[in-house]
Structure 1
């Protein structure tokens, strides 16, 4: 097995590292602050250090999990690739990692990026639909992690880097209309949808399609973020004028508050429809978004470390999640089933 290095120990990173340690992997956890739950594990080497400095010190190729916030997650990809590492990348960056493909081939490195729930598992499901249906007429992804009930404040708490949430709300969204990629403002096409266990939630466009804009053939394709109506009302009224530090504090994750993650993927060609619904309410003290995002990351990191990227259908280069093998998708879904995440 290759050694595993995890860069970033936020809510998702902490969860991923625990799952790998549960399997007996020795994991080097690198962040400026390591959670106590990881420090106390014998399988985890806790390294409180700047991630860039640590990466530069590595002498041998390893499996590297990049779970740094999107604003700093791209620059570190270059030394990771030059080091010939196998990289499972969760950093939600505006920069396109595919621009590093030639460099990865040159240095015999493999990187799979956007490897969470959406983007990530959603991409794999679209690839499966395309295998079954061929070119599609309409593709819609709706996904969100939210408190189970709204409140009188923001009706939201960020299960991953709050700064990435702000990026999601402000970055223009790329969608496909009539077979062509077009760019529209984020938060447009707001509409009410039925979500089990609620009286209805709101969905709006965000820039989540990314790689599938060019790898999946569809006449119309879009991804929507799902939130409580009260949350998006307040963001539209106050978001741009509220200091980021204040938002980061207001959206701080509260492990004692009940929450859930919900995703619906629907693909249609003529009268043929392929769709999936994924629901999780968290378990054993772990939040639903950490679980649904982290288990995809964990699954690929585990496969990279034990069987190599080739087992997933990948070789040297940079790959989007929809390019993994069908067997890899089956493995990810089996991990979801094993951990009690509903897939229907």
Structure 2
């Protein structure tokens, strides 16, 4: 399969190495960062130096490819999907942006190729897990999805380090959040719905953020009492973010906030990803709850150490592409994350990254 991989950032480089190493994919990484591309070409991975915001140049780079894997910032998702359609390519991305996903769904209508956005961690893997647990119940009551990409060693007041895209982080903190409450689809406010819980002996907080549910609200509408997604952070983070966004009014000047965070908040490769899903309802006449909890840690060994968010995000989209190549997913039109079977995902050579993580046995 000839893959055009858009983006040579941390996640893009990880995707490129994973796909290339199998020998089943002919990968060409497309980016405007010549330095990042040079690292990959030195490893025998194909590259094309293209300004990814130049539509004509990007369209030309996609010709002759089978599949587009988009690891660019979320605001370029719609353009990339349109170009994939024009080039006759299948399309996969990592976007958490709700508006972009809705437009990609529209683009996919009647398409002869497949369009599968939201293939990362959240949205992505978290939706696969929630759907797998939910469909085993006779009657669904509550589906709660919680995900955190956290520094292993928080040292600042926000108790946070940059582990992924600043653009994506601020985007999910500022947009309305889809949910189902008392059987009705609603839009909740970001940063609201604060709750606290402990997992594996560590205290956390969780609050509403946008995009993590993927298409689950639509899939389970009318079939579940409550369904929501919240981002997990260490206690105190949400209060300070609300101060920055609301009190200092940086919500209306997001570029300034992003600039501040990039300059003052160090990135870290020493992180941990927390995945926590609880589903309750009736099964065989009894009220039951099912729980899926994982912690995935960074890998410090080897020439290319990987952060936990790199591992989980890259594994998600690579597994989706791999399952598609094997014919285990629809081959055209819009493909939802919940169409992935969790056992097949975890058995996949890329999805095993989640299976090899540490399963949390006790919930406090």
Q: TM-score, normalised by structure 2?
A: 0.84
Q: Does 1:70 align with 2:70?
A: no
SS of residue in 1 equivalent to 2:199: coil
Unaligned runs of 5+ in 1: none
Q: Which has the higher contact order (CA 8 A, sep 6+)?
A: 1
Aligned counterpart, 2:11: 12
Preserved CA contact (<8 Å) 2:293 2:359 = yes
In the superposition, relative to structure 1, how do residues 204 and 300 fare at CA in structure 2: closer, same or farther (>3 Å)? Answer: same
In the superposition, relative to structure 1, how do residues 136 and 89 fare at CA in structure 2: closer, same or farther (>3 Å)? Answer: same
Q: Deviations over 1:241-295 (max 9, x none)?
A: 352211233344223xx32110101111132222211211111320001111110
Aligned counterpart, 2:217: 213
Partners of 2:137 and 2:291 in 1: CA distance: 12
Q: Does 1:46 align with 2:47?
A: yes
Q: Structure 1 residue 197: deviation in Å? A: 4.8
Q: TM-score, normalised by structure 1?
A: 0.89
Question: Which of residues 289, 307, 318 is equivalent to 1:287?
Answer: 307
Aligned counterpart, 1:269: 281
In the superposition, relative to structure 1, how do residues 177 and 65 fare at CA in structure 2: closer, same or farther (>3 Å)? Answer: same
Aligned counterpart, 2:164: 160
Preserved CA contact (<8 Å) 1:6 1:28 = yes
Q: Structure 1 residue 330: deviation in Å? A: 4.0
Partners of 2:342 and 2:147 in 1: CA distance: 22
Partners of 1:102 and 1:206 in 2: CA distance: 24
1:82-93 equivalent positions in 2, closer than 5 A: 82-93=86-97
SS of residue in 2 equivalent to 1:108: coil
1:2-151 equivalent positions in 2, closer than 5 A: 2-24=1-23, 25-33=25-33, 35=36, 36-42=38-44, 44-51=45-52, 52=55, 53-101=57-105, 103-151=107-155
Question: Which of residues 334, 338, 345 is equivalent to 1:329?
Answer: 345
Q: Does 1:173 align with 2:177?
A: yes
* Count of residues in Structure 1 that have an aligned counterpart in Structure 2: 335
Q: Structure 1 residue 177: deviation in Å? A: 0.5
In the superposition, relative to structure 1, how do residues 235 and 105 fare at CA in structure 2: closer, same or farther (>3 Å)? Answer: closer
Question: Which of residues 255, 260, 280 is equivalent to 1:246?
Answer: 260
In the superposition, relative to structure 1, how do residues 292 and 148 fare at CA in structure 2: closer, same or farther (>3 Å)? Answer: same
Unaligned runs of 5+ in 2: 251-255
RMSD: 2.3
Partners of 1:97 and 1:156 in 2: CA distance: 28
